[in-house]
Chain A
């Protein structure tokens, strides 16, 4: 019984290390192909539209409601201490440093990461990725690099929108519904430093890389037809979300 437990634990650890190693190899290969001409300009712009512009509505709505609920929750706690005027700073800090980047990344992991894995997984099981190789085109350059660049650059931009909408939503609820003085709310936002915003955007960019690499990797190792694509997509979203939250802790320690 104990031997069985050790066997399965060892096998699980071996698989985890194997996946981690291959993820890093894909990451470094992607960096190599990213700086190697010719560049896939059309492919990159197509991915930017898919990943960025089409995600904007959901990011805006989520950002706004996150700011709104944040004010509702903090207002009642702050009122007990008679420091309601500090809500502006809480919303500003929370959105720019934490909630904006993390929630935007989690939304994109679900929306974009799942789509990437499903698309690449389907290409894998229908031999389209083999066909790319047979035509002397690197699947990493053609498929991964555009998605990597789009996720890495657009996640910070989407985060800016999320931060902005969160603060607007928070202002609306705090000032119009809870009766916080508008000038106090805005004045307290000044406590948010440019470094808070920039570090939040750096986190967002790292989260974008995680989503792209994990999703593409899972797509590339998909086997087993439609069922395999479904399984890979689920694993991809779960793994991306976990890695986002784990790396968020380490990035927060390192950056702030």
Chain B
């Protein structure tokens, strides 16, 4: 479904993605792990078409998103939902307006229906009666959950999660993991998640890929990754300060 071919991206002189290749199949949950600043979020933004690669191509269902019109790209984006690392709620809108934003812009539905969908999506992420609050009145974890409600409001086929469990308490982190699993099993949603949280990755992933120095250096099921012989992956999943990736970012 998502094919990434030889994608390279520079920020100034720093090469963040280096000839990266990756295939993500329809209906699978693929988790990308890697150190902070290694380009995980950059990769997600490339898949969404928010960032353009300096070279290489990204195809969604066979269509190279770098070579289609803005209108067609927006058509593809409507099939996606994205949870941002910083939640990225719109400051000037209420929680309800944030969750309803995509629906209000793209679907012709009544106010009453909008309110119903907002309520339903918020309750899915464990939040109730906060529609009229402003984002500034929410805790970090609540913001994340509202952002997740916004990402799933339009019933997307593909959901991109950027650090879904960072900044939430362990119980809520597990609830979010369960929600990701639920969406996957009930709706066959394709999911791409980037995370540092190894236990979360093991729980939700069908496959895990490790991003290191701009490339996916290893891909495997959670069990395969757990038993890996790759010293870089081994060091990362064990959270050791000593090993081949010390001093690198």
Question: Could you list which residues of chain A lie within 8 angstroms of chain B, going by C-beta atoms?
Answer: 122-123, 126-128, 130-138
Contact = CB atoms under 8 A, between A and B. Distances in A.
A136 B105 contact: yes
Interface residues of B, number: 24
Nearest to B76: A136
Nearest to A131: B88
Given A128-B90, A128-B91, A131-B90, A136 B102 contact: yes
A130 B105 contact: no
Contact of A138 (B49, B50, B70): B70
Nearest to A133: B50
Contacts, number: 53
Contact of A130 (B45, B78, B101): B45
A160 B155 CA distance: 50
Contact of A136 (B78, B88, B90, B91): B78
B90 to A, nearest CB: 6
Given A136-B74, A136-B77, A131 B106 contact: no
A148 B44 CA distance: 31
A135 B77 CA distance: 7
A136 B106 contact: yes
A128 B90 CA distance: 6
A127 B48 contact: no
Nearest to A130: B50
Contact of A127 (B78, B81, B88): B88
Given A127-B84, A138-B70, A133 B48 contact: yes
B153 to A, nearest CB: 9
A123 B86 CA distance: 11
B161 interface: no
B82 interface: yes
